[in-house]
Each structure stands twice: as C-alpha cells, then as structure tokens.
Amino acid sequence: MSNKANDDNHSNQLNPNNDAYWESRDFDGRPDDYEERLESGDTQAE
C-alpha cells in the first residue's frame, strides 16, 4: 500500500462518519445510531 493509501486508511479509521472507523472496532459498518453511540462513548461492538 502506498503512503497516501495508508494515510487515507488511517484517517478513515479515526473518522466516525466513515465505515472504516466502525469496521476497525468490530462493527459491520457504521450503525444507524452512530451519533448517539459517540455521545455516550459506546464505540465498541458487543
């Protein structure tokens, strides 16, 4: 992977609006209630 691709992936994993953020936390993708989860601190899959 190129540096740009690595940087993009890293940025996506830090962005809760991006599926990669949730997938890196063992979710199947961004949940519909992701904003509520962020506010409550619930960003880990069960």
Q: What is the pLDDT of residues 17-30, one digit of tens each?
A: 999 999 999 999 99
36, part of any domain: no
7, part of any domain: yes
What pLDDT, on the 0 to 100 scale, is given for residue 8?
96
21, part of any domain: yes
What pLDDT, on the 0 to 100 scale, is given for residue 9?
95
16, part of any domain: yes
What pLDDT, on the 0 to 100 scale, is given for residue 44?
86
Long-range contacts of 35-43 (CB under 8 A, 24+ apart): 43/16
What pLDDT, on the 0 to 100 scale, is given for residue 46?
77
33, part of any domain: no
CA 29 to CA 1: how far, in whole Å?
22
19, part of any domain: yes
Domains contained in the chain, number: 1
